Amino acid sequence: MSKLKVTTISDPDNDNTALTIDTSGNVSVSQGFVPPTQLSHRNLIINGAMQVAQRGTSFTGLTNGSSEYTLDRFKFIESGNQTSVFTVSQDTNTPDYFGNSLKLTCTTSGSGHNVIEITQSIEAQNLQSLAFGTSNAKSFTLSFWVKCSQSGTGNVSFYNLDALRQRAENYTINVADTWEYKTITVSGDTSGAFNNDNGTGLGVYFPIAASTSYSSGSTGSWGSYSDGKRGAGMTIDLTTSTSDYLQITGVQLEVGSVATPFEHRSYGEELVRCQRYYQEIEASGRQSSCIGYRKNANHIYPTSGQNYHLPVTMRSAPTFLNTGMPVTFTSLLNDNWVSTNYANLGSYTSGHYFGTNSKGAWYDSTVPGDSPFPADTPINITFGEDFKLDAEL
């Protein structure tokens, strides 16, 4: 070990000052600075600090058949016939420098699962900087904070859904009930490219339990998919006791072989990123304006509708998740307010429909025969719920 004490570093040819170091050790850069990786927008994971929870902050009763998104961009996945039950929640117990974590708690112990995971999928076009599928494929590094009720070996698996290539890695939980920082560096895959599109590129999976056949695979290299890699090498099993839990936060996946400090983003920035995949549009209780009528060659229909321009363009045309909502039509007829209630719009396959594209959502109604309103009557529409739009991967 040796120490170099200097106050100035200059280039050898022209003696241009490149760096100066003051008496406190502060470094000033005087010339151009060329980092090996980008200085901002490094984190390919969205909502890695678990700030955004548009769907809610607690998801209970997660068991067989209940794979679903929880905190934004993070999905609970189960495979098999598990009898264990879990809750996923946004928690305020965190390591320093974070405000939230994702907590997965076992509320009923059980068995029967193949694998139980928390996952995030990354859009393929956001992964082009990795140059996978070329001779210049780059390594990436996953870093995260984890706290678990059990010590032992954990697993993270990566699945390239464009090339159907998969890799598993292990990490160690040294001490139970303690926040620990983990980093995993993964070499680039020269064989499996990511499509340059808006589909799923890479899935990142954090299993919390895996059966024998789902934990017997290999780790440390890219290869074809196998069930055994999904929990390869892991020893923790959070289905055994109602005191079992796992918490994660500060999840970052970045190009390069070094884990840099977590790239904190404001809540507003993170929300916008999340809204590309899921949005809720305020509509409940609002009376929309209405709209006259439409006609074709043979009929005139009383028609109403409402258009919503989305604040963030979504990844694809989104699914309208809650078409089963109630809606009330109201109009003033002969100085009397007249209403018609539709208890479940999802039960109609014509006359009412919810339309979407990546930039907007609309409800359209054309209801001959079941409306009391004449063709040219203005109608107010009152929605029973906010619109829930899903363009997740």
Q: How far, in Å, CA of 132 to CA of 126, rounded?
A: 12
CB of 198 to other proteins, least distance (A): 6
Nearest to 249 by CA among 200, 300, 166, 180: 180
* 12: contact with other proteins by CB under 8 A: no
CB of 130 to other proteins, least distance (A): 20
Residues 6+ apart with CB under 8 A from 115: 77, 78, 79, 80, 207, 209, 210, 211, 214, 227, 230, 231
As given in the structure block, the two tokens for residue 147 are 């706290």
* 317: contact with other proteins by CB under 8 A: yes
* 158: contact with other proteins by CB under 8 A: no
* 155: contact with other proteins by CB under 8 A: no
CB of 366 to other proteins, least distance (A): 5
Nearer to other proteins among residue 145 and residue 320 (C-beta):
320
**Collapsing DSSP states into helix, strand and coil, what is residue 19?**
strand
**Selected range binding other proteins among 31-39, 114-122, 146-154, 184-192, rule: CB under 8 A:** 114-122
Nearer to other proteins among residue 21 and residue 317 (C-beta):
317
Nearer to other proteins among residue 8 and residue 357 (C-beta):
357
Q: How far is CA 160 from CA 57, 60, 165, 189, 195, in A?
A: 29, 30, 5, 10, 10
Residues 6+ apart with CB under 8 A from 335: none
As given in the structure block, the two tokens for residue 6 are 């200097």
* 346: contact with other proteins by CB under 8 A: yes
Selected from 261, 268, 355, 372, the binder of other proteins by CB under 8 A is 355
* 95: contact with other proteins by CB under 8 A: no
CA angle 188, 194, 195 (to 5 degrees): 165
CB of 303 to other proteins, least distance (A): 8
* 301: contact with other proteins by CB under 8 A: yes
**Binding residue count for other proteins, defined by CB under 8 A:** 52
Selected from 323, 331, 371, 377, the binder of other proteins by CB under 8 A is 323
Q: How far, in Å, CA of 361 to CA of 18, rounded?
A: 54
* 200: contact with other proteins by CB under 8 A: yes
Selected from 321, 360, 380, 382, the binder of other proteins by CB under 8 A is 321
Nearer to other proteins among residue 11 and residue 197 (C-beta):
197
**Strands, sheet with 58-62, edge to edge from the N-terminal-most edge strand:** 58-62, 85-91, 101-108, 245-255, 140-148, 180-186
CB of 162 to other proteins, least distance (A): 11
SS (H, E, C) 31-94: CCCCCCCCCCCCCCCCCCCCCCCCCCCEEEEECCCCCEECCCCCEEEEEECCCCEEEEEEECCC
Q: Mask of contacts with other proteins, 161-180, x by CB under 8 A?
A: x-------------------
**Selected range binding other proteins among 23-31, 46-54, 60-68, 96-104, rule: CB under 8 A:** 60-68
* 294: contact with other proteins by CB under 8 A: yes
**Collapsing DSSP states into helix, strand and coil, what is residue 23?**
coil
CB 315 within 8 A of CB 328: no
Binding site for other proteins (CB under 8 A): 65-68, 77, 79, 117, 119, 121, 159, 161, 197-200, 203, 205, 225, 227, 230, 294, 296, 301, 315-324, 344, 346-351, 353-357, 364, 366, 368, 390-393
